Amino acid sequence: MNYLTKNALLYSAVTLLLLVSTTPARAAEWKAGVAKVKITPTKPLRMGGYSSRTRPADGTLTDLWAKALVLQDGNGTRAVLITVDVNNISRDMSMSVCRELHKRFGLERSSIALNASHTHSGPAMGKRAYYTFTDEQHQDLKDYTADLRRKLIAVAAEALKNLAPAKLSWGNGKATFAVNRRNNREADVPKLRTEGKLRGPVDHDVPVLFFQDLSGRLKAVACGYACHATTLNGYQISADWPGYAQTELEKMYPDAIALTWIGCGGDQNPSPRRKVEYALDYGRQLARSVEAVRSNNAQPIAGKLACSYAEIDIPFARIPTGDELRKQLDNKNRFEVARATTLLQRLERDGKLDSTYPYPVQVWKLGNGPTFVLLGGEVVVDYSLRLKRELGATSTWVAGYSNDVLAYIPSRRVLLEGGYEGGGAMLYYGHPSPWAEGIEQKIVREVHRQVKQAAEANALFVP
């Protein structure tokens, strides 16, 4: 019986016990803990996000951080959110961190979520077809990744140690710097924005969670936004707008640790870009939105915490044969050659290529507060808009870039339209083809299943 199967059985047993319990978890019974650790590289590393970069970083513009927020209801159910200022979190990294936290603290997989900021000004993480590094550069990144794993475990452990009675509240704000990059040329955005003619779907909501101690001091604020962290593209390490937002919030609330998580921003860019002052401004916009929520409409959270997690198999459109891959080795496109080489190595090792990928879907129900949906990959904005429409516009929070940044996750619309997010980017992620049709419905169906399960487990515990 593997780790995930054990977790699924344990979760089912825990859910059954909760359903038959008659002791409610009230607002005053919440506990929370928060911690942060610096993860800024200590030596020049190759950077992730842009294939045009040819050398390691040559400086640091802002520090990078990993932060952990732990929530615990009156029944002892815990959830750990870990936000990380890196371009990518792989499935291997997530599983390794989760196994260690399970071993040390008994945390189930459903109770742990990792969200990457996807900053394009951080170290190159994971494997990409466009990475052409020297052996020394590969070793430096391998060492950084191993150290990052230790720090992620340590920051979660510290947050657990810091658990204390808490008051939780939540609300939604607005920020408008994200633009649908599929429908608006970057050069045209200033004019289109001024004229009110920007096109394409966007999600400008800023979901916010506050954690206060019982004396009323704000100890943590976690907020999300559906937008790429691609304001900057130089050779200096930076957390981009999510980092500047955290800095602004921690200036605004000196006793608090600020966390930012990334929503369904796969087809959303900050615009305009390419200047540090833009990233600073976007961080300030997000911080002002959070302050407006705290001042005007933050609602207390009562009830219990319900957590679930599953991996569903999402299929590729087709799997190339060995002969097709060998022909691609003569391609003049180095990315095609790199992908073909990797897939041939896998074919030789395993005798086949996988026709599906294990896709992570996670749901946390926070009492009578929000339902938090965490999805893997670079999820396009259609998912958050649809799930909010179907599950509740203000009470549904949807994150992408969670637990495994495996590829772009297109909606049916984007898949059929094609383009970079619709399938072109699969080349750079090293996958054999675009996703098969039906991906959106499979993911949404699983979200609905978990949300229903969480609602049933939660129903008896809301005072």
Instruction: Count the domains in the chain.
Output: 2
User: Is residue 425 a part of any domain in this protein?
Assistant: no
For residue 463, pLDDT over 70 is answered with: no
**In this structure, is residue 11 part of a structural domain?**
yes
pLDDT, residue 10, reads 44
Other Cβ atoms closer than 10 A to 99? 14
pLDDT of residue 357: 98
381-436 pLDDT, tens digit per residue, is 999 999 999 999 999 999 999 999 999 999 999 999 999 999 999 999 999 999 99
Q: Do 96 and 161 lie in a common domain?
A: yes
Do residues 395 and 326 both lie within one domain?
A: no
Query: Could you tell me if residue 420 is inside a domain?
Result: no
363 and 339 belong to one structural domain: no
pTM above 0.75, yes or no: yes
pLDDT, averaged across the chain: 92
User: How much is the pLDDT for 215?
Assistant: 95
* Whether residue 289 sits in one domain with residue 260: yes
Q: Are residues 255 and 327 in the same domain?
A: no
pLDDT at 132: 77
pLDDT of amino acid 164: 97
Residue 350, H or E segment:
helix 334-350
Same domain, 302 and 237: yes
Which phi and psi angles does 354 have, rounded to 5°?
Answer: -65, 135
| Percentage of the chain modeled with pLDDT above 70 | 92
* Structural domain harbouring 186: 3-309+358-405+439-461
Q: Convert the pLDDT of each residue in 184-219 to its tens digit.
A: 999 999 999 999 999 999 999 999 999 999 999 999
| Least confident window among 1-5, 292-296, 424-428 | 1-5
Average pLDDT for residues 155-169, to the nearest whole number?
98
Tens digit of each residue's pLDDT (9 = 90 or more) over 40-83:
999 999 999 888 888 999 999 999 999 999 999 999 999 999 99
Q: Do both 329 and 444 map to the same domain?
A: no
Q: Is residue 149 part of a domain?
A: yes
| Residue 280, in any domain of the structure | yes
- List, as one string, the DSSP characters of 159-194: HHHT-EEEEEEEEEEE---EEETTTS-GGGHHHHHH
For the chain, how long is the longest CA-to-CA vector?
A: 68
Mean pLDDT across the stretch 300-320?
97
The distance from CA 380 to its chain's CA centroid, rounded to whole angstroms, is: 12
Q: Are residues 344 and 294 in the same domain?
A: no
Q: Are residue 181 and residue 136 in the same domain, yes or no?
A: yes
Assign residue 268 a region (left: φ > 0; alpha: ψ between -120 and 50; beta: otherwise). Answer: beta
| Residue among 174, 273, 169 nearest 226 (CA) | 174
> Do 280 and 371 sit in the same domain of this protein?
yes
